[in-house]
Structure 1
Amino acid sequence: MVRIAFVAAVFAAVATAAPASNPHALQRRQTCTGQSCVIADISRSTGRQPSPDAHFEGGTAEGTACIKEHLTILQSQGRIPANDSLEVPEPRRRHLFGGGLGGSEAECKPNTLLYARGTGESGAMGMSVGPRLEDGLSRTQWNVQGVLDGYPADMAGNNCIGLNGGIAMMELIEQTAQECPETKIVVSGYSQGAMVAHNGVAFAKPEAKSQIVGLVVFGDPFNGAPIKEFDSSKIKTFCHEGDGVCSGQFGITFEHLTYAFRDTPAAIEWMEQAVGGS
């Protein structure tokens, strides 16, 4: 109860004190740096092999096994070249990082938001960024669905760098594109969900990927990393100065908890422009 009260107090304080726009938000970084690059390459969502001498901090033996398992699945489906090595660099330290659809079935609409929640959040849309995005979009123009089945949003998923949830997002993207071939898709995610969003877009089939007009991520561990066969101008990243997760180190700071209040209005505006100008 104390923890719940503390979290509620934090969000209440942010809602009261946070400005409408955040001058420290990095709207879109052209290139990744440091560990953000390393873990994005390990996921193969960039289309690059990790460097043979690459190292990253954090993770567990279970996480490494999970990464290899899901990379093997993607390779068996032809989404990763058959001759690519699936070796995963060993972490320097061993510790935890500090098919149904969510929502109801609906008829096709002009636009669709597919969203992945952050670690520990409940429900298909989570409890922070997701609901505010959903509330800000027109119900007549947008379907909104969150990844639920296949994506538990637990700590183990962080150690798997979002690959398990990424496959669930990939399948959701492909299902949405097949069932609604005219809809314009925006993919989004917060924290671990940002990795899930990256991976889902990266490994979606070309015909499904062609319907994606934008990727919007918040508190992104893959901050600034490209996505293979996807136009980087369609990626919008919100990463606050001082957010330890955005360095790929998974360090939870106060800044990591403020995206729902500070940045969702700007994100919604960008999404509306993306579907209108595509």
Structure 2
Amino acid sequence: MLNYLTAGLSLISLASCVPAPIQGSLGFIPSAEQIAAVEAANNVTAKILAIQERLGGVGCAGQSCDIADLAGSTGRLPKVKPEGGGTSDFKCIAKYNEAGLQAALKAPSVKKQPNGVSGAMMGAGHAMGNLIPGFGPPDTGTFSGSCTKNIVIFAKGTTEVGSLGITVGPVLNAGLPHGFSVVGVPYTADLAGDYCLGLPGGMVARDMLNQAAKKCPDAKIFMSGYSQGGMISHNAVAYADEEARKRVAAVLVFGDPFQGAPIKGYNGPIITYCNEGDYVCTGNFVVGAAHLSYTGSTAMAAIRELKKLAA
């Protein structure tokens, strides 16, 4: 299972030990010059490990596909129990994928991940309030965007504020030309959603996708997200209505915990951006400098891809 408790601690510790520019997800938007300086200082080259416009993306890494199976976004039953979960942690997942959860609980445990911490999710279910009927993060959404030729539904990362977040989302919004609109997914971007594998936010984005497909029949629709938003993008497409799923022109994800996982019922491009050294892409949410550095050359590469795929 994703080790999101570790992630929360890492974000706090990074704030005190790395140069200020890299703290973009913790409170302000770094400039391009600042990001470049931090990348150089930390030897983070924003290397794109793969961009493959085919079903299944770049191939599984670590337990990335195992947790995607558990979320139900692949349409496959889990064959292993991912690392790091406990009974209370699974209550939220069961709300969306009971069959998958039961299969995982009966399966052998995944081999311990080199960058993981067993049991890191303990107590997550309590944090989400899922032991109390009627509580838990909101999981319904509304699409209120305009019917531009190209619509990007974007899900920000954990702890980011604003509709688009403060890292990747604003860069895409500023860099895309006329004819594009970038619409943020207004989900609760906290660690509780990570514990639930992006499923609550995924349902918000799913509703937005379904509604956008009906409201804007001539538009090209793209799903995109960073970090937890990557899981949300997978889940949104997988759980969407069939007709809405067919309308998705591409899925673009950054620092994706579900890296390499196919999306149930979707045969379009899955474009994955993963910085060298970003362990989140292996399904282990150990957040370091590489995971916080997607606003430079990587985001620019995504903008170029979107332009190529545009209507």
Distance 1:7 1:116, change over 3 A: farther
Q: 1:55: how far off?
A: 2.4
Distance 1:214 1:249, change over 3 A: same
Q: Which amino acid aligns with 1:143?
A: S
Q: Trace 1:189-200 onto structure 2 (pairs within 5 A).
A: 189-200=225-236
Match of 2:174 among 135, 140, 143: 135
Do 1:243 and 1:253's aligned partners in 2 also have CA atoms closer than 8 Å? yes
Q: Distance in 1 between matches of 2:277 and 2:220?
A: 33
Q: Distance in 1 between matches of 2:89 and 2:164?
A: 24
Distance 1:268 1:68, change over 3 A: same
Q: Trace 1:8-47 onto structure 2 (pairs within 5 A).
A: 8-10=20-22, 11=24, 12=30, 13-16=34-37, 18=39, 22-28=46-52, 29-47=57-75
Q: Distance in 2 between matches of 1:170 and 1:192?
A: 15
Match of 2:94 among 63, 68, 82: 68
Structure 2: which 5+ residue stretches go unaligned? Answer: 1-11, 25-29, 113-117, 123-139
Q: Trace 1:211-222 onto structure 2 (pairs within 5 A).
A: 211-222=247-258
Q: Distance in 1 between matches of 2:16 and 2:173?
A: 24
Q: Trace 1:230-241 onto structure 2 (pairs within 5 A).
A: 230-231=266-267, 234-241=269-276
The reply to whether residue 126 of structure 1 matches residue 151 of structure 2 is no
Q: Which amino acid aligns with 1:238?
A: Y
Do 1:58 and 1:249's aligned partners in 2 also have CA atoms closer than 8 Å? no
In the alignment of these two chains, the number of paired residues is 256
Between 195-204 and 28-37, report the one with greater CA deviation. 28-37
Q: Which amino acid aligns with 2:120?
A: H
Q: Trace 1:199-214 onto structure 2 (pairs within 5 A).
A: 199-214=235-250
Aligned-pair identity in percent equals 38
2:285 corresponding residue in structure 1: 250
The reply to whether residue 224 of structure 1 matches residue 237 of structure 2 is no
Q: Which amino acid aligns with 2:78?
A: P
The reply to whether residue 87 of structure 1 matches residue 125 of structure 2 is no
Q: Secondary structure at the match of 2:214?
A: helix
Q: Distance in 2 between matches of 1:252 and 1:88?
A: 29
Do 2:46 and 2:293's aligned partners in 1 also have CA atoms closer than 8 Å? no
TM-score (norm. length: structure 2): 0.74
Q: Distance in 2 between matches of 1:88 and 1:94?
A: 19
2:146 corresponding residue in structure 1: 107
TM-score (norm. length: structure 1): 0.83
Do 1:36 and 1:246's aligned partners in 2 also have CA atoms closer than 8 Å? yes
